[in-house]
Structure formats: structure tokens, C-alpha cells
Amino acid sequence: MNRALTNVLIVAGWALGSWTSTATAQTAVTFQLNWTAGGANAGFAAALGEGFYKAAGLDVTIVQGNGSGNTAQLVASGRSQLAYADAVAVSQLIAKGAPMKVVATIYQSNPNEVSALTKSGVKSINDLKGKKVGVPAGSSQTTMMPLFLKANGLKEADMTMINMPVAAMVPSLLQGQVDAILGSMDSYQIQLEQQGATLDNYRFADYGVPTVSTSIFASDSFI
């Protein structure tokens, strides 16, 4: 974990600083996150606190987000210039002509997964047929779900997809309101296990969608 955090700090500092190495001191930069600060995003806040960005001549403001899909849209629409989000959500918009580019990838493998309580009887991807699946609105899981279903010979019509706020995902699964959720091993899985849940998890990367994940990207105009 320490090595991973160190790598995040180094890459984040390089990506934010390399474009402005010749700029005057304390150039203002706003950095849009994909989610709330903490966990997988802790490295960026730690780098700010340690003064790494200031040493590179940058006055960095970190803005929290509410999902990779939403963050990608913010940059595509010109409302943000430099951001951190899942590469699939970003590349899908680039393929449609959005003027932005990925400049550094942090997660080399995607942590997204389908999680179900062991007692639910979901013992394979095919067992999702006829089930209720919680989907976090505006997230990277939402943008990746069509790829995941296609890779496993399924359609959205095979199950009931329920869009819900991110904060409702874990309690909805624990309370049996849904049979499974589109989650991630670095967030939802941790929260569920901390509350004593026994899970069966099906990682997208292991079931036909082996993509890179969260990356630093920027609008072409900013670059």
C-alpha cells in the first residue's frame, strides 16, 4: 500500500507539474476528482498537504466529484480542464469527439465488479438473470456495464437495473432491496466486508473487460 501511494504521489506530481515547469511560481490549477477525497484518491490530497505541487510552482485546488461518468462529462463540456476518472468513461467520450486526452494512468487494472451476498445464490454471472441489480448513478460502472454484459452473453433486459445514489448502494444490498450491486473492490467491497458481509465478487477485469482504470486526463485546450 505504501509503495502504491508513493507511485500515486510521484505520477500526480509529474502530471500536474510537467506542463508548467517553465511557468512563473504558483500557477493556479483546479484538479477535479472522480469521487470524494480519500481512499484511492488520498494520494492527491497528501501531495497537496506535503507541498509537492507548490514546489512545482502550482497552486492546486482539489474538487471532489460524484462519479467518473460525471467527471468525464465535466471536462468534455469545458467546465473542468484537468481531472481524474476511469479511463473507459473518458475514452468513450473521446471516441465521440470530445477534445481531451488521457495523460497518465494510475490504476493499471479496473477494480469494478459485481458484488452479491453469498446467501443470495448468485454463484455465476449467468445467475444475474432475473435479479435486481443496483447501479450507482453517474459512475464508471454504469459506462462499463454494456461491455461487461456483452462479454458474458447477457443483455440489460435479462435483469432489473435499478439506478440509485451512491450512498444507497451498500445498505440496499445488505437489506436485501437488491440482489447484487455494481461495485468496486477498493470501495464498496471494503465497506461491505467491514460490516460483516460475506460476498461473491465478479471483477470486470476477470470477466471480459480487462481495461486500465482511473487516469489523469485534461482538455486539449488546457494541454
Amino acid letter, 194: Q
> What pLDDT is attached to residue 138?
78
> What pLDDT is attached to residue 172?
97
Contacts with 179 (C-beta within 8 Å, 6 or more apart), sequence order: 116, 120, 122, 128, 131, 132, 133
Q: In what order do the strands lie in the sheet with 180-184?
A: 160-164, 132-136, 180-184, 112-117, 199-203
> What pLDDT is attached to residue 21?
47
Spell out where 15-55 has E strands. 27-32
- What residues in the chain have per-residue pLDDT under 50? 1-6, 8-9, 19-23
> What pLDDT is attached to residue 24?
54
Q: What is the pTM of this model?
A: 0.74
187 in Cβ contact with 86 (< 8 Å): no
Burial class (CB within 10 angstroms; exposed 0-12, middle 13-18, buried 19+) of 154 = middle
Task: Give the end-to-end CA distance of the chain in Å, rounded to a whole number.
Answer: 31
**How big is the chain by its Cα radius of gyration, in Å?**
18
> What pLDDT is attached to residue 20?
45
Contacts with 38 (C-beta within 8 Å, 6 or more apart), sequence order: 45
- Chain-centroid distance of CA 70 in Å reads 10
> What pLDDT is attached to residue 67?
87
